[in-house]
Amino acid sequence: MKPIEYADATDAVRAVYDDIKRTRGVPDVNNFWKVLAHHPESLRRTWESLKVVMGPGSIDPVAKEMIYLAVSITNGCTYCIRSHEAAARKAGMTPAQHGELLAIVGMANETNSLATGYQVPVDAAFLER
């Protein structure tokens, strides 16, 4: 789907673009938002949700971005990996942390398939919560 540029957008779409730019302090929004703009309701709703979820909270910003990136890698979503790797770096992820993050994601995918393949019974201790 072709991205919709600011100049070609409706007022409702521009209002979301403006809020993204203000919130993030960036001169333009990414293609993700410009494509979502084909369905303005999804654009508005997704941005409102993302602003809350990725905004200030009890997990620090770089860890939040690394968690987002870990999910994106596991799903094999190229766009998401590229954009959230950039976001994680901007938030402060160092090259060493990036290398460790990928090692954890790789290891988790390996042990996940081992646990599934062996059909490991859940330990009684993990059921109490």
Instruction: Tell me whether residue 18 or residue 59 sits nearer to a copy of itself (CB atom).
Output: 59
**Does residue number 64 form part of the binding site for a copy of itself (CB under 8 A)?**
yes
Instruction: Work out the number of other CB atoms within 10 angstroms of the CB of residue 17.
Output: 20
Element (H, E) at 86: helix 78-90
- Among 21, 83, 69, 74, which residue's Cα sits nearest to residue 47? 21
Cβ 76 vs Cβ 69: under 8 Å: no
**Does residue number 5 form part of the binding site for a copy of itself (CB under 8 A)?**
no
**Does residue number 121 form part of the binding site for a copy of itself (CB under 8 A)?**
yes
Q: Pick out residues in 32-61 that bind a copy of itself (CB under 8 A).
A: 32, 35-36, 38-39, 41-42, 45-46, 49-50, 52-54, 57-60
**Does residue number 88 form part of the binding site for a copy of itself (CB under 8 A)?**
no
